[in-house]
Chains A and B, each alone.
Chain A
Amino acid sequence: MDNPEESRGFVFSKESLRKKFRWSEFLSEKIITGVGFLSITIIILIFFFVFKESIPIFYTKKAAVKVESVQKQEQYGVDTNVAVNASGQEQYGVTARDSLMTENQPLAEDTVVHGSDVATAKSLLGTKWMPVSDNPRYGLIPLFVGTLKITLIAMLFAAPIAILAALFSASFAPYWLREFIKPAIELLAGFPSVVIGFFALMVMATFFQNLFGYDGRLNAFVGGVAMALAAIPIIFTITEDALTAVPRTYTEASLALGATRWQTALFVTLPAATPGIFAAILLGIGRVFGETMIALMATGNAAMIGINPFESVRTLAATIGAEMAEVVFGDTHYNVLFLIGSLLFIFNFSLNALAEFYVKGKLVKRFQGKQS
């Protein structure tokens, strides 16, 4: 009885210590691993299927109809709006009050027209977006200009406000205030974009119109400010995280050298967190770029090219949202909308990849003392 294990009736041998094969273990591991791949699969499927529906534009063999030259004499700007409205199907935003629900109207007339038209690569680069007319043109330029304009306006508001607020929360606010500000701004992130759009449409539009006295109630400015509301929580949260991630030793060293708290925040903490702030801005841009409901409700949705911020614009995402429900499956208009979707997806993917790899890599290196 000198071996205590034997006395209790079992012996550890090589045999008994070997891992037993269990079906439940095997299956659970395989299933969980399989599900782990789901996110990657979804991303690939999204890219594949959205792009797939836009492919037909590229291999249409019919002769290219040169629509550009014929249209040269037409005016840009307001006329585009009128022309689009004249075609009867495109009534949103400014003119929405007069229009009825277009959803259920048959599109028989247009179907015939669409069947015969061809969108060439050239017309995609054109300056007119008039998909529903006798001579449809799918120029993406005004949509790009509109989207960029909105993004610029939104970021001009959102970036400084969110970054300064994050700096306040991370560097100056007392603990109790910080514990209030952070969740409050996170709550703003939870506001549905349709609610922000509604608020912009009903309240902000009137307010800004009274303030600045311009003509069109809905324009790029109103849309941009509303989008800033959607982008602020994202920029704030990521910037705040980046600022709090700056090692304490940095701030302590600065304070020990006699710098004040605000000097430390402005000249030490903020520069150290630059890559993170850059990432925050990139993700904010991504959010505004792809935002649909606010754009649909607050920008007026007329595809115009111009630099005036108080003009109506039409963004890429809003175009998909407004027109997809009315197109005929499989025709050129449908394909072009999916092409816009692919472009949005690729753009967003690139922004995210840039924020992820370049910026975060740099941040890690910097904090490890390897200045790049």
Chain B
Amino acid sequence: MSRQKTITGGLFVGVTAFSAFLIIAVIIILLVVIINGGKDTFSWEFLTSFPEDGMMKGGIFPAIFGTVLLVLIMSVAAVPFGTITAIYLTEYAHEKSVLAQTIRFAVRTLATVPSIIFGLFGLGFFIKFVGTGIDDVFLGGQLKWGQPNILWASLTMALLTLPVVIVSVEEAIRTVPRELREASLALGATKWETIKRIVIPGSRSGIMTGTILAVSRGAGEVAPILFTGAAYYLATLPTSLSDQFMNLGYHIYIMATQSANVDQTLPIQFATTMVLLLLTFTLNLAAVIIRSRLRRNAK
């Protein structure tokens, strides 16, 4: 082989390697800069106290509380439905049937719909259609559910995270060996009993991965809750499903673009971003580890 070709080849491999390491470098820079900017303000105090002085001082407890509540309600809605859809796709639907293909296409479409569209849908469907409908029928037109609140925001977020759960659970269900299922059926168990006793327990780690990924996604997304329930500042924590709530991501957005004095609150912003970033990062890391174990077991 000619010398020139070797050089070209070396260059080419070098360029591809450079691209890969560039991405890794950006990830590391992003993490380091955010953590560096936020670590001085970050403390137990910061996590557990309310904002003070019109958000110029104090902590972010209500934002953390709101985010946790949001992902909890969201998981309650998204995980069961996502799991059942995955069970349908793997256990009941015929792989090549038009119906299964359509559902798969719908799931993938759902995963790529821009998050702001979910926000619009939450406003148009949950708040204006369902919420106002409930108000008109049960409360005689009194405004309670027909306005942004944590329930509608959580359900909107659940729609967004549904495909995440479906994909994870489906992947896990496929790793449950066929022989186990056949053995169960051969022993006289019905299909539903097999699913209940063999398939679901066997794919528990997949359901967990799906939940973790969904929670991480739901904790970080802001666009869907911009007008379905997030509030800039609340003096009290949400106590019912019809209350508005504060949210970490929304807090960052508002503080960074619309607060009265961006420079003065910069440390708080960095610390809040650090909390959100570390939260989602840890969750994703956990999911990656569980999933790689799952894949290794499947081999």
A contact set with B: CB distance below 8 Å: 22, 24-25, 28-29, 31-33, 35-40, 42-43, 45-46, 49-50, 52-53, 92-93, 96-97, 99-104, 160-162, 164-165, 167-169, 171-173, 179, 181, 183-188, 190-199, 201-203, 229, 232, 236, 260-263, 266, 283, 286-287, 289-293, 296-297, 317, 320-321, 324-325, 329, 337-338, 341, 344-345, 348-349, 351-353, 356
On chain B, the number of residues with a Cβ less than 8 Å from chain A's Cβ atoms is 98
Question: Roughly how many angstroms separate A192 CA and B192 CA in the complex, as a whole number?
Answer: 38
Indicate if the CB atoms of B256 and A202 lie closer than 8 Å.
yes
Residues in A neighbouring B33, C-beta threshold 8 A: 199, 203
Given contact pairs A172-B13, A283-B112, A324 touches B226 in the complex (Cβ within 8 A): yes
Q: Is the CB of B124 within 8 A of A348?
A: no
Which residues from B are CB-within-8-Å of A167? 16
Q: In the complex, are the beta carbons of B120 and A338 less than 8 A apart? A: yes
Known A-B contacts A191-B280, A236-B23, A296-B257; A35 and B232 likewise in contact (beta carbons under 8 Å): no
CB <8 Å contact, A320 and B120 = yes
Binding site for A on B (CB under 8 A): 1, 5, 8-9, 12-13, 15-20, 22-24, 26-27, 30, 33-34, 37, 81, 84-85, 87-89, 91-93, 99, 102-103, 105-110, 112-121, 123-125, 128-129, 159, 162-163, 166, 190-192, 195, 213, 216-217, 219-223, 226-227, 232, 249-250, 252-254, 256-260, 262-263, 266, 269-270, 273, 276-277, 280-281, 283-285, 288, 292
SS class, residues of chain B in contact with chain A: helix
With A36-B84, A195-B277 already in contact, 13 other A-B pairs whose C-beta atoms are closer than 8 Å: A25-B191, A33-B88, A39-B85, A164-B19, A168-B13, A179-B292, A186-B288, A191-B280, A292-B116, A341-B120, A344-B116, A353-B105, A356-B108
**B221 contacts A35, CB within 8 Å?**
no
Are A49 and B85 neighbours in the complex by a CB distance under 8 Å? no
CB distance from A45 to the nearest CB of B (A): 6
| Main SS class of interface, A | helix
- In the complex, are the beta carbons of A168 and B216 less than 8 A apart? no
A100–B258 touching, CB < 8 Å? yes
- Give Cα A351–Cα B111 distance, bound, in whole angstroms: 13
Q: Chain B residue with minimal CB distance to A51?
A: B124
Q: Is the CB of B227 within 8 A of A37?
A: no
Identity of the chain A residue whose Cβ is nearest the Cβ of B80 in the assembled complex: A35
A236 CB contacts on chain B under 8 angstroms: 23
Contact B120 A50 (CB under 8 A): yes
Q: Quick one: which of A173, A194, A199 contacts B253, CB cutoff 8 A? A: A194
Nearest first, the 6 A-B pairs at minimum CB distance are A290-B114, A192-B220, A36-B88, A168-B16, A190-B284, A164-B19
A to B CB contacts below 8 Å, 21 in the list: A28-B192, A28-B195, A49-B125, A50-B120, A92-B257, A97-B262, A103-B258, A173-B20, A185-B23, A190-B280, A195-B249, A202-B256, A232-B23, A260-B9, A290-B114, A290-B116, A292-B116, A296-B257, A297-B257, A344-B116, A345-B117
Which single member of A46, A102, A192 contacts B117 (CB below 8 Å)? A46
Contacts of A321 in B (CB 8 A): 116, 119, 223, 226
Cross-chain contact B110 with A39 (CB below 8 angstroms): yes
State A39–B102 Cα separation when bound (angstroms): 9
Please name the residue on chain A nearest to B223 by beta carbon. Answer: A292
| CB pair B269 A164 closer than 8 Å | no
Q: Which residues does chain A contribute within 8 Å of B263, judged by CB atoms?
A: 97
Known contacts: A191-B280, A194-B276. The answer to whether A42 contacts B20 by CB under 8 A is no
How far in angstroms is the closest Cβ of chain A from B201? 16
A49 lies within 8 A of B227 (CB): no
Contact A229 B26 (CB under 8 A): yes
Bound CA span A345–B88, Å: 27
Nearest residue (CB) in A for B99 is A36
Q: Which residue on chain B has the smallest CB distance to residue A290? A: B114
Query: Chain A: which residue is nearest B100 at the CB level?
Result: A36
Which listed residue, A103, A169, A194, touches B249 by the CB 8 Å rule? A194
